[in-house]
Chain A
């Protein structure tokens, strides 16, 4: 090895050289420098690659979602927990339920729930449409999930006849033939469909709220969903009941009540009157 070669080689190579004439003090100094450099390298690499300590609190939320998160942290966090991860025994995790679920639960007033019970009841909504959208956006950005298509009139082009058939097969078991709802076990129930909007019915089918099964797009295609919504909104709600007062459409139970309360009562009074005319 010549000194020319030495000069041409890099610093590291020269550091690796072990000239016999090196003093003990210099060797120690070199070791210390190398140790510090290695530590700094490792620490720096960790700092670059490891997730930052504040990353969880600051995901890249859009504006609407950030607004939604603010609402969530005030009204929903008690039961659904920080970052919507759920609280054992109080509320489920909302990661992955999607905007459809939020839209159904919040716009129908079911969430926030009044109290813990078998099932949430429909109430006047607490949040405005705008706030509901922000909450939905937040939950959507947390974990994705089903989304209701745009627009308020989701029943457009729906075929009422096929919707009726689908309704009777898929919905009437719980919501009853007239859409008035029915009882399920242990205080749970299928609610009346009469106050529901197009979007709420669509969202319910997509997300399967409470005890309702999910009717995903592979079970009921979007156009079939439109058929069902058309049947509910145009036939069940706007049917004029050609036979007169519909007695609540509860089937034979109220009809039996009516024959006693109206028919028998009227005729017993008539017989009292006729027999009194002697």
Chain B
């Protein structure tokens, strides 16, 4: 019997045909693999959040193998000597075991925590990108709302996770959370006792937070992220204006292979950065905080950075109690305003912003092209105002650490925060607005007069004039100026952007090709139009 020769090269193709025969996936898959994504570095910021969420799931699953979510009291006898013989909750003891006795446990715990901080940071940075470029406009308002909700759900995930180890710091945070719930008028005491199962701290809160942290909130996050990505897929990604890019097409790279490979590489980079931080930087040293006792509150007890703005608003709030003479007398405590009302307003304003802006501008059109921040000065200025408001609150949340390390009076810090919270946002609005107008004006100037060459020419009559390199051919005017329209994208403002220094040398650390000779006369560079790019479309039109 003759042995059949195995043709290795044909195997994948045969297997694929086999799969397609059975499942008929070739047509939808081709469409998927040919889907086009526009390419710009700022479009990768949301991916940082997505990839750190993946790392969170991976490390979190590892941690659940060893974490014991119970508040039963045990006496620690693990390998961390300074706590041996100390009574503590089983949750804290198992967190210590993860840190000191489980192989690789500490680096996993630290990676989980750094990934959580990175997740929230990337969400905020991504949100700023979406805001300042106007990517939230119709038809993408829903995705903006989902994104804002992702921040708040991530906030809850972070807070519940921060509370799980049951160390001194998390207990202090829980105590504050219970106080915030108590401050809600009328329903406060019921909310608190139903969440804590009675009086703070009770014996149930760690188990409840555990289920919320490992099941409910991640489930919600996965659902929201799926819808978020699905909508990006359905509505297609926004793109910057440029040659060949219109409101009705998408110019970029196919999903497969380039885009998928790049994303895979970027995931590795994100994973690597988180792993490096988890291995190099100590985060949340729970063994120093000790087990939570109601009478232990350390100085510099702060929440993680994304909750710090609430801590800051609480520190800046004056002690204004509002007594209401009903029945035996009722008091709205000052804590209620900065920790319940303020975040409520922030959630409302941030989620509703797309509609507020569209209403204000009477703008009902769909926008698939992004705007440069300078081209929407009012929006950019509002964003700067919000950012400065948030930064003042966040810094005030750490004002005791800042006061101590920079030797400033804590009272001065508090007053600086109070005044700064009112003064800086309007100032930021004004300054940003003027900056945007200035940048716009400079763009128009360059388009009209050309790029500054840095060459000063002396005329026969003794005048000095600066030589400009016009960006377009002369239109026959006496001054030789052409007229170019601003298209909403970067205007070249330096000669080497026009190729005056010759093409850029390719290569990351060392040149991978021999550099060509630079042109001899920088005053008269060989400016050529760049070769036309072909439009790569997904094959379907937008409407």
A interface list, Cβ under 8 A from B = 118, 160-161, 164-165, 168-169, 172-178, 180-187, 189-190, 231, 235-236, 239, 241-247, 249-260, 262-264, 266-268, 270-278
Contact = CB atoms under 8 A, between A and B. Distances in A.
B412 to A, nearest CB: 8
Given A250-B405, A262-B277, A243 B302 contact: no
Chain A binding surface SS class:
helix
A252 B282 contact: no
Contacts of B404: 181-183, 189
A157 to B, nearest CB: 16
Contacts of B43: 275
Interface in B95-133: 99-100, 106, 110, 114, 117-118, 121-122, 125
B404 to A, nearest CB: 4
Contact of B298 (A168, A186, A189, A274): A168
Contacts of B400: 182-183
B269 A267 contact: yes
B282 A246 contact: yes
A214 B86 CA distance: 26
B348 interface: no
Interface in B387-429: 394, 397-405, 407-412
B41 A177 contact: no
B285 A184 contact: no
Contacts of A243: 99, 106, 110, 281-283, 285
22 contacts: A161-B81, A173-B297, A186-B409, A187-B410, A187-B411, A189-B403, A241-B282, A243-B285, A244-B110, A245-B281, A245-B282, A246-B285, A252-B308, A253-B397, A259-B114, A262-B281, A263-B117, A264-B118, A274-B262, A274-B265, A275-B40, A278-B39
Given A169-B295, A255-B305, A258-B277, A161 B84 contact: yes
Interface of B: 39-45, 47-48, 81-86, 99-100, 106, 110, 114, 117-118, 121-122, 125, 168-169, 253, 258, 262, 265-266, 269-270, 273-274, 277, 279-285, 288-290, 293, 295-306, 308, 394, 397-405, 407-412, 508
Contact of A241 (B285, B299, B301, B411): B285
A187 B406 CA distance: 11
B293 A169 contact: yes
Contacts of A181: 299, 404
A149 B168 CA distance: 33
Contacts, number: 213
Given A184-B410, A256-B305, A263 B273 contact: yes
Contact of B279 (A160, A173, A244): A244
Contact of B410 (A185, A241, A262): A185
Chain B binding surface SS class:
helix
A107 to B, nearest CB: 22
Contacts of B394: 256
B298 A172 contact: yes
Given A187-B407, A189-B407, 8 more contacts: A177-B290, A249-B285, A259-B118, A263-B274, A268-B125, A270-B269, A274-B41, A275-B41
B298 A260 contact: no
Contact of B39 (A178, A235, A275): A275
Closest 3 CB pairs of A and B: A256-B305, A182-B299, A243-B282
Nearest to A262: B277
B168 A274 contact: no
A176 B83 contact: no
B277 A263 contact: yes
Nearest to A258: B281
B298 A173 contact: yes
Nearest to B394: A256
Contacts of B82: 160-161, 164, 231, 235
A269 to B, nearest CB: 9
Contact of B117 (A160, A168, A259): A259
A161 B394 CA distance: 35
Which of the listed residues B125, B266, B285 has the most CB atoms from chain A within 10 Å of its own CB? B285
A228 B183 CA distance: 37
A265 to B, nearest CB: 10
A173 B409 CA distance: 18
B73 to A, nearest CB: 14
B48 A267 contact: yes
Nearest to B113: A255
A104 B411 CA distance: 28
Contacts of B302: 251-253
